[in-house]
Structures are given as structure tokens and as C-alpha cells.
Chains A and B, each alone.
Chain A
Amino acid sequence: MAFRIAEHEDVLLPVMVNLDGFILSHTMQPLETTPAGDFIPPLRLPHAIDTSQPAGYSPLTGPEYYFGFRWEIERSMRDAQQVIREVEEDFAQKFGRRYGPTEEYRMEDAEVAIVAMGTLGREAQVAVDRLRDGGIRAGALRLRWFRPFPRLDLAGREVVVIDRDYSFGFGGVLARSLRATTPCLPFSVIAGLGGQEVTYADIAGFVRQRKPGEEYWFGVNGDV
């Protein structure tokens, strides 16, 4: 899907596919693979070098064009939302696997939503099962794309965000992105940096001891 999105004429931007280094990259697990078939069409870039139509290319430009290019990037980012949806729909039609901006787990009646990315989002799903066994109606939202940042509907729910990142002097990037786009006051947990072990039991603990609006560095600045 990344190729289709990146090469779409309305986007033409690189797509970065991320995975948790060491944690996912070194875990051996069964994967279902699908033959790509004709899902990815031959590459056709509108500005590819064509010797029959010589043109000048330069990585450098002056201010009169530069700022316009910046706008073009942002316009492509905005258009990418729709392109991603179209490509995902086509993928679902061809391969029977449907995704979306978020992977939702037991969210229908959830009173507390755990929002995370990557393996932490998957670990959160196990935490949700544990929390529900203990009478806490939790659900998990795992973001599948981060930019353009998807609009999430978390109305009426408490939110616990787990960031395996930090923007120094500002906050957890996911928590801050969420607060900027969705009316919510998340409990922001910073955890797992540098390979710190974060278990589903730890995540269940974050939820049990959530303090809306506050930030907590797991294992570093004391107990919640």
C-alpha cells in the first residue's frame, strides 16, 4: 500500500513505514503474505528524467519557488488522507484484509481508551482484556498512520496515551497530536524508550492509575 500511496499523482511524497526496532524486528512470528499481483502498477512518475525531453533538475531553489513547494507538500499531505482510504479499500477488495487509520479493539462500549502505536498498541490489546476481567471497560486504539494525523473520535471517553518518543520541552508526540486535533485531556505516559520493557500488566497499571491531563515517565519519575 505504501508504494501505491507514495506514487499516486495526488501525493508523490515518500511514505515511511516504521516498526519497533529490536522488539518487533527480532521477534519471530508467523506472517500471512499475499502475492502482490497487479496491485502495484508499473511506476509512472510525471517528472521522471526523460532523455527525449531534456530538462534541468536541481535540488536547490530560491525563495520565490521554495515556499510554494512547501505548500505543495502540505497539499499532498492533505490529499493523502483520501488516497490512503482509496488504496486501503482496493487492498481490502483484492486481499480481504481491511485496515483503516486505526485498529480498534473492544472500543464499542469502552469508557477508557488506550491510544498507542506499534507493538505498544498490540500490547495494549492484551491489557484491555485484563482490565475488562477486572471490571474496567477499556478499549484500545492503535494508530496505523501518523501523518497526515487522522481525526479520532474519542468523545465521552477517558484517554490514556502511550508514547515511545518525546519532543523535549514539549511532550509526547502522540499525546500532543491528539490534544491538538481532538477534544480530550489524555493521561500521557512516556514509556519504552531505549528498549525499556513495557508489559501488558504495566499498561493496565497506567489505566488503573490514570490522571487526566498529567504526564508520567514510566519507571523514571516515580509512581503514578
Chain B
Amino acid sequence: MAMFEIRIHSRGGQGGVTAARLIALAAFYDGKQATATPFYGAERRGAPIVAFVRICDTAIRTCCQVKEPDLVVVLDPTLLTTVNVLKGLSPGGTVLLNSPHPVALDSFRTVTADLTGIALVLDLVIAGNPVLDTSVLGALAKIGVITLDSAKRAIAENFKDPRNVAAAEKAFSEVAA
């Protein structure tokens, strides 16, 4: 497999960086090489955040930012109007968008998942924020980036609350990909 590169857009506190680490861990459990890199700028609650994941069959030597992702994950749909989330997205690339309703973004394949809705249904809310960084792995498993088994293992190893795994399973079953 050629290098598969993911860029995650979120807001500070939504778990974009944690999601990157969990995705990389799940890919590692799938037998792949993987790296997760956050981009550190002026990180604060609510500010736009970017994190990167690389997945490859062979050792990954580069540490730089992902400029031409194969997949873009957008955890907060309000970022669509403030950040160019499609920048550099490879032709034929995919966007995974947290949204309760379908959205078409240019000519890119856009997959929507109601991650906020899933968190609210499961009452998976921390400090008033719906938890998105675990359910997103279920959606990515559905797209085929990682396997659901590895996603669940990565989540269970990092979070005691079983609702996190349940959220990933729910996202997996709900997403049309």
C-alpha cells in the first residue's frame, strides 16, 4: 500500500489530536506502520486545530505536515466556513464530515456521520462537550481506513467508559460508505 495520509480538522477540546493518536494505534494493530502528529500552533479551547495521521506498510520516515491528504476528517462542520479543509486534498480524495445531514463538497466523495448525535444519544458528554474522538474511528472503519476490531481495541485500551466503544460501533453501523 502506498502511504495513506489523513488530515483532521477540529476545534480545541473536541479531541482531534486524540483521534489522530487512536487512528494511528488502530492502524498499528492492523499490522501497519503509522504515525500521528499534531500541529501545534496557538492551541486553545475552540480554536481550529489540525492533526495528521500517516499509514503505510513500510517504515515512515517523514515527520512533516501532511500537505496532500487522501482523507480529510472534519469534526466540527462550522470549520467549513472558516478553514479551507479541502486544501491539497488528493483528486478522488474523501471527506469525512461530522454532520447530521448529507453535505456535498465540490467533487470530493463526502461521507457524513452524525458523531455529535451519537454522543448525545449515548450521553457520552464530557464537561458539556459531546465526545467525538472515539466514534470517529467507527466511521473510518466503515470507510475502510482501519478495521473495526482494531478501532475498538485502540479505544478500549485508552478509555474505560464502554460507551466509547459503543459509539464507534454505532458510527460504523450508521455511516453509509
Q: Is A22 part of the contact surface with B, judged by Cβ < 8 Å?
A: yes
- Residues in chain B within 8 A of chain A (CB atoms): 20-21, 24-25, 28, 33-38, 40, 60-65, 67
Q: How far is the CB of A116 from chain B (nearest CB, A)?
A: 12
Which B residues touch A199, using CB under 8 A?
62, 64-65, 67
Not counting A30-B28, A122-B62, a sample of 17 additional A-B residue pairs whose C-beta atoms are within 8 angstroms of each other reads A22-B40, A26-B37, A27-B37, A28-B24, A28-B35, A29-B24, A29-B33, A29-B34, A29-B35, A30-B33, A119-B63, A122-B61, A123-B63, A197-B64, A198-B64, A199-B64, A199-B65
Q: How far is the CB of A45 from chain B (nearest CB, A)?
A: 37
Indicate if the CB atoms of B35 and A122 lie closer than 8 Å.
no
Q: Is A152 part of the contact surface with B, judged by Cβ < 8 Å?
A: no
A24 to B36, CA, bound (A): 11
Looking at chain B's contact residues, the main secondary structure is: mixed
A62 to B147, CA, bound (A): 68
A30 and B34 in contact (CB under 8 A), knowing A125-B61, A126-B62? yes
25 residue pairs from A and B, CB less than 8 Å apart: A22-B40, A23-B63, A26-B37, A26-B38, A27-B35, A28-B20, A28-B24, A28-B25, A29-B24, A29-B33, A29-B36, A29-B60, A30-B28, A119-B63, A122-B61, A122-B62, A122-B63, A123-B61, A126-B61, A126-B62, A197-B64, A199-B62, A199-B64, A199-B67, A200-B64
Which B residues touch A126, using CB under 8 A?
61-62
A197 to B40, CA, bound (A): 11
Which B residues touch A200, using CB under 8 A?
62, 64
Q: How far is the CB of A129 from chain B (nearest CB, A)?
A: 9
Most chain A CB within a 10 A radius of its CB, from B28, B33, B34, B62: B62
Q: Is A195 part of the contact surface with B, judged by Cβ < 8 Å?
A: yes
A98 to B20, CA, bound (A): 32
A29 to B34, CA, bound (A): 6
Interface size class of A (residues with CB under 8 A): 10 to 19
Q: How far is the CB of B12 from chain A (nearest CB, A)?
A: 15
Which B residues touch A197, using CB under 8 A?
64-65
Q: How far is the CB of B168 from chain A (nearest CB, A)?
A: 19
Q: How far is the CB of B171 from chain A (nearest CB, A)?
A: 22
Indicate if the CB atoms of B36 and A27 lie closer than 8 Å.
yes
Which B residues touch A125, using CB under 8 A?
61
Proximity string of chain A (16-34) to chain B, C-beta cutoff 8 Å, 1 when within and 0 when not: 0000101110111110000
A166 to B34, CA, bound (A): 33
